[in-house]
Structure 1
Amino acid sequence: MPTLVSADKMVTVKLRNYIGNTNELDIKIEGDYFSLDPTLQLQEGVNYTLSLKKGELYLKQEKGKKQKINGGLILVPQEYDTNHVVFINDRPYLGAMEFIVDEANSIRPINQLPLEDYLKGVVPFEVFSSWGLETLKAQTLAARTYAVSKMDQLMDDTVSYQVYGGYEWDVNTTKAVEETKGEVITHNNKLVETFYSASNGGITENNANVWGGQPLNYFPIKDDPFDPTHPWEYSLHETQIEYEDIDFNNPNWWENSKEKETDITNTIKSWLNRNGYPGEIKILTIPKFQLKGDQLASGRSVSGSISVTFMRRILEGLILFEQVQLDDVNLNRIRPMIGGTIFKSYLIDSLELENEVYTMKGRGYGHGVGMSQWGAHFMGEQGKDYKEIISFYYPGTTIMNISAGTLQQLK
C-alpha cells in the first residue's frame, strides 16, 4: 500500500531553478510574517537583501543597517492565504520560507506550502495553459501522483523533479487542479510512475527499454493515433573547420576559426569538457556518425557510433590535437553530445551522409513512456475527458482520491 496522505499535506521544495547558486537574494513580503528570531521583524513592502559572507547570513534593509542572522532565517505567514506572499528576486511564493546555507556555499530558500497550491505552481510550467481543461486535468493528475510519491523526499523546483514556479498561477491550470482535488493514478492500490514526454512520435515506449528494471504493464508499446508525431531533422557537416585553411601566422587564428553548426558543436564542447577534456576547444571534424541498426519493438534505435577530432588549448600557445571515439555505444551516450533539443528522440527514421553532411530525421520529442502531452492535447480536442486520457496512456490504472486521507476509488 502507498503512504496515505491528505490532499492538504504540506510539500517542501528547494528553490534552485530560478536563482541558481548565489550569495545574495532580494526579498520582499506582502502581509504579516513572523520569524523564529524575536529580534527580526520584516516590514511589508520594504526591500531587503539577504547576503552570505564567510558562512554567515546577513539581512540588510534598503538604506538600513546590516543585521546578522543567527540560526538561519525562517519566515512564516501569520495566516496562510494569497494575501501573504514572499517575493524572492521578484518571484512570488506562498507559504513558509526558510533560507539556509547549502553545500554549494549558496543561499538556498526552502518553500513549504500545501500540496494543491504547490500543484497550481507546477502545472502551468509543465504544459501549455491555453490547452483544453480535460488535458490540463490529465497533466494535473500526473503531476499530483508524482508529487505524492516523492513526499518523503526534499524535492527541488527543476526538471529533476517538477518545474515549480511559485505563485505564478494561471486561471486555467488552477481550475484543473481545483476540479480534481486529491485525485491520483494508481495500480493495484499503489501510486504509479507517471512518466510523460512532449511527443512519442506516434508509438509509446515501455519503461524498461528506457531505464532498465522491471517492465510495468501500464507502459505498453502501442500505436498512438492521437500524437501528432512531431517530425524533426537536423544536419551536421562532417568537416566543421578546414584545417588547411587555418592561417597559423595570424595571431587571431584561434578566434577566427569557427565551426559551421555552432548550436551543436557548442554542446559537443561542453560534453568534452565534462568528460575529461578541460580547456578551450575547436571542433575540426566528425569523421564518423552512424546508427548500428538495432531497434526496440517500438522502432526506436538503440546504439550507434560517433567520433570527433578537435583542437584543445590548455595553456596559452599549447594546442593539443585529439580524437574521441564512441563505437557501438547506447545512443543515450551520444544524444547528450548533440543536445536533446536537437536530437529529440530515439525514434529515428534515417541518418545519412551525403555531400559531407550528416542528416538525421526522426519523430517525437522525449522518451515516449507514458503520456504524450501533445497526444493528450489532441485527445481533449476530440472530446475525450481526462479519465479517458489517463486510461489510454496509463492502461489498467485506477484514479483514486486521497482527499479524505485514505485512497477512495472514483466511479
Structure 2
Amino acid sequence: MKKILLITVLLIGLFPITSEAEEMVTVRLTNYIEDSSKLNVEFKGAYRSLDPTLAIKEGVNYQLTVDEDSLILQGENGQHTFKEPLIFIPEKYDEKHILYINGRPYLGAMEFRVEEDDTIRPVNQLPMEDYLKGVVPFEVYPSWGLEALKAQALAARTYATSHLNEEIDDTISYQVYGGYTWKEKTTKAVEETSGEVITYKGKLIEAFYSASNGGVTENNAHVWGGKSKPYFPIKKDPYDPIEPWGFTLHRTQIDLKAIDWDIPNWWEVLEEKDKKITESMKRYLKRKGYWGDLKILAIPNFTVSDKQLSSKRSVKGSITIEFMERLFGGTVLFHQYHLDGVNLNRIRPLIGGTIFKSYLINSFQSKENSYTMKGKGFGHGVGMSQWGAQAMAESGKSYKEIIQFYFPGTRISEFKK
C-alpha cells in the first residue's frame, strides 16, 4: 500500500492529471513482461526519476538488469546502480510522453522493483479512463459494435473501480491490459461512457464477464462460493452463439517400453502425444514444487462426476498423472500426482483453460486409449457474455439494454467516491 501511495503522491504533485480529480489505477505488469531479469526501456518526451544525478534522455535505449538486490540502468551515459525501486515520472501527462518496455508503450508513471527471484517487475500507474482504453481492445475485438464495446467499457470500469487502492495485474486474473495500445473504436466507447459504473442498491457490483456462457448464465455462488447475488441469475441466454468445443487426451503419452535408455540423448528425444495439454500439466506441476525437467508419461485416470448444477454445469472430477522428473545432475525420479473428487476448477488448469473451455460439459467418454470431452461456452459464465453482448449490439440493442439483460436489477450510475 505504501508503494501505491508513493507513486500517487508523486503523480499528483508533479503534474496535473485532469481538471477534475480522476481515480488512479496501479497495474503490476506480468502478462507481456513475464519474469525477466533484463528489460529494455526507452522514453518519448521528458521524464524524471527521484535520483537528481540521473538525467533521462529521450530516444536512448536503456537496459535495466539485476545485480543481487540492485537495479542496474545502462545507457549512453554509463551505468547507474539503485538499491531502492526505480521510479520514472513524465514531466507532463499526455500522449506525447510515453515509456516503452521491450517496445510496448505505456503512459503515466512507472516503478521498477526487484522481486525475490531476481525478476524486474514494472508497476504502471495512470488515470482510470486511460487504463480502460488499454483494457477494452484486449478483452474484446475492437472491431465489434459500438454498443457492445460500451457495455464492455462499463463492465471493465466497474470491475476496476471495485479494486481501487489495490495493486492489480494485467492478466486475466483481473483484466488484460495492453498499455498505450489503443484503438479508435474502443477509445470512443470508453469516452462516451466516461465515469459510468454498474450499481445495485447504490453499491458497485462485481461486474464479471466471460467470452461465452454456452447459452445459459451461471450464478456467482456456484463458481466462487459465498453469498448468491440476485443480479447473477441462472437463465437461458438466446444471444450467446453457443460455440461448441472438445478435446481428446491420450492415456499414454510416452511408452516406457519404447524408450531406448542406452542412447545418450534419450531424454531429449522423448515427445508426448498431446503437447499443448502436457505443457499445461508441466507448468501446473512446476507451480506445485516439481522444479526439474518434466516428461508426462500417462494419465491412467480421468473422470468427471455425473453430478451437475441447475445450470447443467459439471462440478467435480478426478485425474491421475504419471510423470518423470530429471533433476540437476541427471537423476530421474518417477512420480504420480492425484486429484480425487475435487472441484473441476482444480483440474481445468492442468488441461489448459483454452482447451478445457468451460464446465458446461455435454459429454465425457473414457475409452481404452483416450478420453474425449465435449462442451460449450468459454469461461465461468457469470455475468456478461462478451459474444452475447456483440450479438445483442448487432440486433440493435443499446449498451444499457445489454447491461440490464446480463446484470438484471442493476442501474448505470455516475461513480462517486
TM-score of the two chains, using structure 1 as the length reference: 0.89
8 Å Cα contact 1:259/1:283 also seen in 2 = yes
Indicate the SS of the match to 1:193: coil
Contact kept, 8 Å, 1:13 with 1:157, in 2: the verdict is yes
2:52 alignment partner, one of 38, 44, 55 = 38
The two structures, once aligned, show a CA RMSD in angstroms of 2.3
Q: CA deviation at 1:250?
A: 4.3
Matches within 5 A, 1:63-212: 64-69=77-82, 71-212=84-225
* Correspondence for 1:229 among 237, 242, 253: 242
- Does 1:241 find its partner at 2:258? no
Distance 2:264 2:115 in 1: 44
* Change in 2 beyond 3 A, CA 1:109/1:246: closer
State the AA in 2 paired with 1:34. R
Are 1:21 and 2:46 matched, yes or no? Answer: no
1:225 & 1:41 partners in 2: Cα distance?
59
TM superposition shift of 1:70: 6.8
Q: Cα–Cα, structure 1 residues 306 and 107, in superposed 2: closer, same or farther, change >3 Å?
A: closer
Please state how far the C-alpha of 1:61 moved relative to its aligned partner.
2.2
Are residues 1:12 and 2:26 paired?
yes
CA distance in 1 between counterparts of 2:182 and 2:378 reads 26
**CA contact 1:348–1:362 (8 Å) conserved in 2:** yes
- Is the deviation greater in 99-108 or in 330-339? 99-108
Shift of 1:108: 2.8
Shift of residue 370 of structure 1?
Answer: 0.6
2:16 alignment counterpart: none
The structure showing larger relative contact order (alpha-carbon pairs under 8 Å, at least 6 residues apart) is 1
The 3-state SS of whatever aligns with 1:220 is coil
Rounded Cα–Cα distance in structure 2 between residues aligned with 1:217 and 1:262: 42
**Per the alignment, do residues 65 and 308 of structure 1 end up closer, same or farther by CA in structure 2, a change over 3 Å counting?**
closer
Is contact 2:69-2:83 (8 Å) kept? no
**1:367-410 alpha-carbon deviations (Å, 9 max, x no partner):** 111111111111111111110111111111100012xx46xxxx
| Alpha-carbon contact 1:243-1:284 (below 8 Å) kept | yes
Question: Matched residues in 2 for 1:97 and 1:172: separation?
Answer: 27
Q: Number of residues paired by the alignment?
A: 398
Q: CA deviation at 1:249?
A: 4.3
Match among 397, 400, 407 for residue 394 of structure 1: 407
The aligned counterpart of 2:230 is 217
Q: Residue 333 and residue 48 in structure 1: after superposition, are their counterparts in 2 closer, same or farther (change >3 A)? A: closer
**TM-score when scaled to structure 2?**
0.88
Q: Among 318, 325, 343, which residue is 2:356 paired with?
A: 343
How far is 1:177 from its partner? 0.4
How far 1:252 sits from its partner (Å)? 4.2
Of 276-285 and 190-199, more deviation after overlay is shown by 276-285
Listed one character per residue, the Cα deviations across residues 78-134 of structure 1 (whole Å, up to 9, x for unaligned) are 222111112222221112223333444433333222111111111111111011100
C-alpha change, 1:326 and 1:80, in structure 2 (3 Å) is: closer
Inter-CA distance 254–202: structure 2 relative to 1 (3 Å threshold): same
Stretch moving more, 45-54 or 133-142: 45-54
Stretch moving more, 49-58 or 116-125? 49-58
Write the letter of the residue equivalent to 2:58: E
AA at the equivalent of 1:266: E
* Per-residue deviation, 1:314: 4.1
Tell me the percent identity: 59
Query: 1:324-374 CA distances to partner (integer Å, 9 max, x unpaired)?
Result: 333322212221221111111110011113452221110011111111111
| Kept in 2: contact 1:7–1:182 (CA 8 A) | no
Q: Is the contact between residue 23 and residue 53 of structure 1 (CA under 8 Å) also seen in structure 2?
A: no
Which letter does structure 1 place at the counterpart of 2:191? Answer: E
